[in-house]
Each structure stands twice: as structure tokens, then as C-alpha cells.
Chains A and B, each alone.
Chain A
Amino acid sequence: DGGITQSPKYLFRKEGQNVTLSCEQNLNHDAMYWYRQDPGQGLRLIYYSQIVNDFQKGDIAEGYSVSREKKESFPLTVTSAQKNPTAFYLCASSPRQGVDYEQYFGPGTRLTVT
């Protein structure tokens, strides 16, 4: 099956710890994205990548870091500098970066930091 996988589905961490969320796609898409969703809110863009070894900050990049060493993988690290990390995190991909392409989403990871 082609698609995007995110793991784990639920993640619990103590405050002050860094945590890495996994995102893998086998759709052969060039572009990948990370969004954050808070209750009753829309999606906010954290980082995006147009191609391997390249990524750009989105609207709320502070406290997050990413890497894109392989086309299939775009992991997101939530660092201890992120002041309010508890949220639902969604990864997406599209054939190319740009608004002309539909985005394919993973099932999400719900992160709880206490």
C-alpha cells in the first residue's frame, strides 16, 4: 500500500526532553510538510521540504527542527525550547511543493508533554 506513516500514534514525554516524531512516505513525493493542530484549530505549518537535503521554516518553526536526508523520510524533533509542545502533529507530502498539488496526510501523532 502506498501512503504516509507516522509513528508512534501517541507519545508521552516529560518537560525538558527532546522528542523525535517519525514520518515516512512511499509515494515518491518530492515535498513533505509538518503541521501542528491544536484543539478546535486549523493546521499551522512548522517546516516543509521541497527536496532532499533542503527544508524551510514555516509559520511556527521555533522550538522545532527537521532533517531530510532521504526522500522517504522527514523526521521532526520537538526540542525543550518549544514552550507548549502538547499537540496533534500531522505529516503530509505532495508530488511537488506548491499550492497546485493536493497534500496526502499521515494519521498523526498526539504528543503529550507533562
Chain B
Amino acid sequence: SQQGEEDPQALSIQEGENATMNCSYKTSINNLQWYRQNSGRGLVHLILIRSNEREKHSGRLRVTLDTSKKSSSLLITASRAADTASYFCATDKEGGSEKLVFGKGTKLTVNP
């Protein structure tokens, strides 16, 4: 069954704007990971945030985790055309199962 669900399904913005994607999940988790996939390519790991963390940064990426709301957000600041990709969250299948389950992703388009 689906654990993480991204929202929105698609997002189109202009270069320089910020992009925010959300991920909601159903059961308690150990951690949550975000991945990027360029069209027709493999996934690339972006950030892992643990259940006892609230926020993590990596360059222009900021990830937050709210375990009370069972949700996470990925913020990309000052977006570039090269950020155009699909973004997936991945969580434990059911808290503690030791297998990752991926959502269906948010397709981000950054227009130059």
C-alpha cells in the first residue's frame, strides 16, 4: 500500500522562484528520504531526515518534517532550469519494516 504521497502532482514555475513540494504519509516512520529523477534516468538521493529531526538543509534545498502531521516538505530556493525533474519522497513501508516505499512523485518544470 502507498505510504508516501507527494503533492502537487505537477508544478510549473519560473526560474528564480521557489518550489515547494509536500509528502504525506500514513504510519510512523524512522526516517524520510527525498530523491530526484531527471527524465528517463535513475534516481539521485537528495536528503535523508530522521524522525527526531525537524529541518535539514543542503545547498538550495530545505527539508522539513512534521511527525505530528505526518508530512514533509521539500523547498528548492532560487530554482534553475536544471532543477526540472520529478521529485520523490520515500519512507519505511510501515514504521520499522526496513524497506523503502516511494511515492508517485511531483513533476517540477522550471521555465527559463
Contacts and interface: CB of A to CB of B under 8 A. Distances in A.
Interface string B71-112: 000000000000000001001100001111111110000000
Given A43-B88, A100-B31, A48 B99 contact: yes
A41 B98 contact: no
A99 B48 CA distance: 10
B40 interface: yes
B109 to A, nearest CB: 15
Contact of A98 (B2, B45, B98): B98
B102 A43 contact: yes
A45 B99 contact: yes
Contacts of B104: 40-42
Contact of B45 (A43, A103, A108): A103
Nearest to A98: B98
B40 A108 contact: yes
A106 B102 contact: no
A110 B30 CA distance: 32
Interface string A52-90: 000000100000000000000000000000000000101
6 contacts: A41-B104, A42-B104, A100-B30, A102-B33, A105-B43, A106-B42
Interface of B: 2, 30-31, 33, 40-45, 48, 88, 91-92, 97-105
